[in-house]
């Protein structure tokens, strides 16, 4: 099976729009599972797209671009992985085998895009001094180009020129690797989960971690059900901690238990 031109065009547009959406509206186009589904739709195999997107999503659960850090780009990975898996008539693990390296490599382009926008920043500085309002607006909006192209161009290149390479891989893929990748797909969510547990104050809420685990594993409560249980517990917690703070505060606005000295220094 080959990639049709209209599919390539749509997938490239998808890549371009996804990064811009993540920077603005945030409808959800920077989340691998959503993009994977859309890519699957374009390629005609939604189930595969769902599965690929889901596996990649679980790997980056909770990982974010906090403060401008760059993270593996599994959105591009999902697009390219799904596309190639469909045309090579392969399954999820093949897609993962492509998606993960692609995603890891794309980090460099993210860094490049962030750097490039500095150019527009300096032009805006000049525009301010010249009081050139239209130019300011123009340069701010032009910043979208480095962002979008940093995703669109690689996807385009990979889709157009990658087919031959992918075919070679398909023919030469040994079972030990394929099987290994299949297992990898199943256990890669461990990474996303472990990262989350590391950076949330898990120890403080470990009881709830256990609760969630027991609910799902012994009681077989589905995910949405566990989320609702968690929501109920969170509301109880919030109400309790809020009334506790009000008691401590009494009438004052400041409820912090610290002390401020005459120099303005504060400590609790």
Partner 1 sequence: MKMENMKIETKNMDSNSITKRDLWAANVRWLLCSQICWNYERMMSTGYLYSILPTLRKLYKKDEDLKEMMTLHNQFFNTNPMVGGLILGMDMAIEEREKKESKEVVTGLKTGLMGPFAGVGDTIFGVIIPTIMGSIASYMALKGNATGVIMWIIVNLLVIGFRFTLLPFGYKQGAKLVTEFGERLNALTDAAILLGVTVVGALIPTVINAKVPFVYKSGDVTLKIQDMLDQIMPSLVPILLVGIVYSLLSHKKMTSTKAILFVMVLAIVLYNLNVLG
Partner 2 sequence: MVSENGIIHVRIDERLIHGQVATMWTNTLKASRIMIVDDQVVKNDMEKMALKLAVPSGIKLSILTAGGAIKNISANKYVGQRVFLIVKSPSVLRTLVEGGINLTQITVGNMSSKANSKQVRKSISVTDQDIKDFKYLRSKNINIIAQMIPTDEPTNFMELI
- Among 69, 128, 141, 231, contact with partner 2 (rule: CB under 8 A): 69
CB 81 within 8 A of CB 96: yes
- To which H or E segment does residue 116 belong? helix 92-130
Interaction between residue 112 and partner 1 (CB under 8 A): no
In the complex, what is the shortest distance from the CB of residue 255 to partner 2, in angstroms, rounded to a whole number?
Answer: 10
Interaction between residue 255 and partner 1 (CB under 8 A): yes
Contacts (CB under 8 A) with partner 2, residues 145-204: 198-201, 204
Q: Binding marks (x or -) toward partner 1, 129..168, rule CB under 8 A? A: x-x-x--xx-xxxxxx--x---------------------
Interaction between residue 265 and partner 2 (CB under 8 A): yes
Dig out the tokens for 123 from the structure: 């032009």
Contacts with 196 (C-beta within 8 Å, 6 or more apart), sequence order:
61, 62
Select 9 or 206, whichever has its Cβ closest to partner 1.
206
**CA–CA distance from 36 to each of 81, 110, 182, 213, 265 (Å)?**
9, 20, 18, 27, 52
In the complex, what is the shortest distance from the CB of residue 262 to partner 2, in angstroms, rounded to a whole number?
Answer: 11
241: Cα within 13 Å, side-chain hemisphere: 6
CA Rg value for the chain? 24
Interaction between residue 94 and partner 1 (CB under 8 A): no
Contacts (CB under 8 A) with partner 1, residues 6-65: 20, 23-28, 31, 33-34, 36-37, 46-47, 50-51, 53-55, 57-59, 61-64
């Amino acid at each position: 099976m080959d990639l049709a031109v209209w599919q390539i065009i749509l997938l490239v547009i998808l890549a371009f729009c996804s990064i811009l959406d993540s920077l603005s509206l945030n409808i959800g186009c920077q989340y691998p599972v959503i993009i994977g589904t859309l890519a699957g739709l374009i390629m005609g195999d939604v189930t595969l797209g769902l599965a690929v997107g889901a596996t990649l999503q679980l790997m980056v659960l909770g990982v974010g671009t906090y403060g401008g850090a760059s993270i593996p780009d599994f959105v591009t990975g999902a697009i390219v992985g799904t596309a190639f898996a469909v045309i090579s008539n392969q399954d999820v693990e093949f897609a993962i085998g492509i998606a993960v390296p692609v995603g890891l490599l794309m980090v460099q382009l993210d860094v490049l895009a962030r750097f490039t926008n500095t150019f527009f920043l300096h032009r805006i500085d000049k525009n301010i001094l010249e009081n050139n309002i239209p130019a300011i607006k123009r340069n701010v909006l032009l910043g979208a180009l480095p962002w979008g192209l940093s995703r669109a161009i690689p996807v385009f290149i990979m889709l157009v020129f990658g087919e031959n390479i992918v075919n070679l891989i398909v023919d030469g893929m040994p079972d030990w690797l394929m099987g290994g990748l299949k297992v990898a797909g199943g256990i890669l969510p461990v990474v996303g989960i472990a990262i989350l547990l590391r950076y949330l104050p898990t120890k403080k809420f470990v009881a709830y971690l256990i609760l969630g685990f027991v609910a799902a594993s012994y009681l077989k409560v589905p995910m949405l059900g566990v989320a609702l249980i968690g929501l109920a517990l969170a509301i109880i917690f919030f109400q309790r901690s809020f009334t506790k703070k009000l008691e401590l505060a009494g009438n004052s606005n400041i409820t912090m238990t610290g002390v401020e000295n005459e120099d303005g220094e504060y400590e609790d």
